Amino acid sequence: MWTPVTASPFAPGQTSHIALHDPRWRRPVQPLGAGWELRRADPRCPLGRRLCGAGVEPAQLWQAAVGLSVLTPSPLTGGAWELFPILGRRERVPTWPLADELVRLAHDVGLPALASWARLLSAPRAPRRSSPRCLPLTPEIV
């Protein structure tokens, strides 16, 4: 069962590229094992409506134990896998194997197998009621 993220390593007033990695903006879709979750923006949340409506929403792989976020390639990530934090900053890499290698070096954990979750991204999304944990849409976020 999903437990909402109540604490976040992300500070208020953060820049928009870092805010996209904040797990509080997303809802879990599927646990992936070894502490990883696949998360998607709630299309009824203000940020989710904006991202989903524009067709640019990257999915998120979230590893709570190390506070690591991986965004899937999208126009917002420059078509790359975006990792945060890697040595305190965001990194963009062009391939999944390179993302896995970088995560292993920086956090000593491996990414979940791509085949175990990629099919979930093409599945139709069920409508959800609005999440009470959605943050208000602010200029720092978008």
SS (H, E, C) 45-89: CHHHHHHHHHCCCCCEEEECCCCEEEECCCHHHCCCEEEEEECCE
Q: How confident is the model at residue 49 (pLDDT cuts 50, 70, 90)?
A: confident
User: Is 11 inside any structural domain?
Assistant: no
Instruction: Measure the CA–CA gap between 23 and 5, rounded to whole angstroms.
Output: 7
Quick check: 49 and 42 in contact, CB under 8 A? no
Average pLDDT over residues 29-50: 85
User: Is 125 inside any structural domain?
Assistant: no
Whole-angstrom CA distances from 48 to 26, 58, 115, 133 are 8, 10, 25, 12
State the average pLDDT for the chain. 76
Quick check: 77 and 58 in contact, CB under 8 A? yes
Per-residue pLDDT at 48: 74
Quick check: 47 and 38 in contact, CB under 8 A? no
User: Is 50 inside any structural domain?
Assistant: yes
Domain that holds residue 73: 16-117
Per-residue pLDDT at 81: 94
Instruction: Measure the CA–CA gap between 112 and 120, rounded to whole angstroms.
Output: 13
Total domain count for the chain?
Answer: 1
User: Is 124 inside any structural domain?
Assistant: no
